[in-house]
Copies of this chain bind each other. A is one copy, B any other.
Amino acid sequence: MAPRRPATIKDVAAAAGVGIATVSRVFSGTGSVGAATRERVLAAARELDYRPSALGRGLKLRRSGGIGLVVPDVTDPFCAELVAGVLACARTLGEHVIVDAAHGDPSREAEIVERLVEQRVDGVIAQPAGTEADWRGAARVCSSVVFAGRALPGLPEIPAVLADDAGGVRSLTEYLAGLGHRRIGFLGEAPRSPSRVREGAFRDTLAQLGVPVEEDLVVGARPAGDAAYAAAAGLLQRRDDVTAVLAAGHRLGEAAVLVARELDLRVPADVSIAMIDDVAWAELCDPPLTAVARPGRDIGYRACEMLLREPARRGRGGPVLLPTELVVRGSCGPLRPARR
Interface residues in chain A, defined as those with a beta carbon under 8 Å from any beta carbon in chain B: 1-2, 49, 51-56, 58-59, 62, 64, 66, 73-75, 77, 80-81, 83-84, 87, 91, 96-101, 114-120, 140-141, 254, 257-258, 261, 279-281, 284-286
Task: Determine whether the beta carbon of B284 is less than 8 Å from that of A120.
Answer: no
Q: Which among B55, B74, B98, B286 is the interface contact of A83 at CB below 8 angstroms? A: B74
User: Other CB < 8 Å A-B pairs besides A54-B64, A55-B64, A84-B101, 13 of them?
Assistant: A53-B120, A55-B62, A55-B120, A56-B59, A58-B58, A75-B83, A77-B280, A83-B99, A96-B119, A97-B99, A257-B284, A258-B284, A284-B284
**Nearest-CB residue, chain B, relative to A261:** B286
* A-B complex: 3 closest residue pairs judged by Cβ atoms: A281-B281, A286-B286, A75-B80
**Chain B contacts for A64, CB-based, 8 A:** 54-55
Closest beta carbon of chain B to A63's beta carbon, Å: 8
Q: How far is the CB of A50 from chain B (nearest CB, A)?
A: 10
| In the complex, chain B residues whose CB is within 8 Å of the CB of A97 | 98-100
Q: Are A99 and B99 in contact (CB under 8 A)?
A: yes
Q: What are some 17 contacts across the A-B interface (CB < 8 A)?
A: A1-B140, A2-B141, A51-B114, A52-B118, A54-B64, A55-B58, A55-B59, A55-B62, A58-B58, A74-B80, A74-B84, A98-B99, A254-B284, A279-B280, A279-B281, A280-B281, A285-B286
Query: What distance in Å separates the Cβ of A296 from its nearest Cβ neighbour in chain B?
Result: 9
**Quick check: A98 and B285 within 8 Å, CB to CB?**
no
A91 to B109, CA, bound (A): 12
Measured in the bound complex, the distance between the Cα atoms of B74 and A97 in whole Å is: 13
A86 smallest CB distance to B (angstroms): 10
Contacts of A96 in B (CB 8 A): 98, 100, 115-116, 119
Q: How far is the CA of A96 from the CA of B64 in the complex (A)?
A: 14
B residues near A62, Cβ cutoff 8 Å: 55
* A129 → B minimal CB distance (Å): 15
B residues less than 8 Å from A52 (CB atoms): 118
Q: Are A54 and B280 in contact (CB under 8 A)?
A: no
**Distance in Å: Cβ of A312 to nearest Cβ of chain B:** 18
Q: Please, which residues of chain B bring their CB within 8 A of the CB of A98? A: 66, 96-99
How far does the alpha carbon of A293 sit from the alpha carbon of B254 in the complex, in Å? 19
**Roughly how many angstroms separate A254 CA and B56 CA in the complex, as a whole number?**
48
Distance (whole angstroms) from the CB of A123 to the closest CB of chain B = 14
Contact call A53/B118, Cβ cutoff below 8 A: yes
Looking at the complex, which one of B73, B101, B115, B280 makes contact with A280 (CB distance below 8 Å)? B280
Which B-chain residue is minimally distant from A258 (CB atoms)? B284
A332: shortest Cβ distance to chain B, in Å? 16
**In the complex with contacts A74-B80, A75-B80, A96-B115, A140-B2 CB distance below 8 A:** yes
The complex places the Cα of A51 from the Cα of B100 at a distance, in Å, of 19
In the complex, how many angstroms separate the beta carbon of A108 from the nearest chain B beta carbon? 9
Q: Is the CB of A84 within 8 A of B77?
A: no
Q: What residue in chain B is nearest A2 (Cβ atoms)?
A: B140
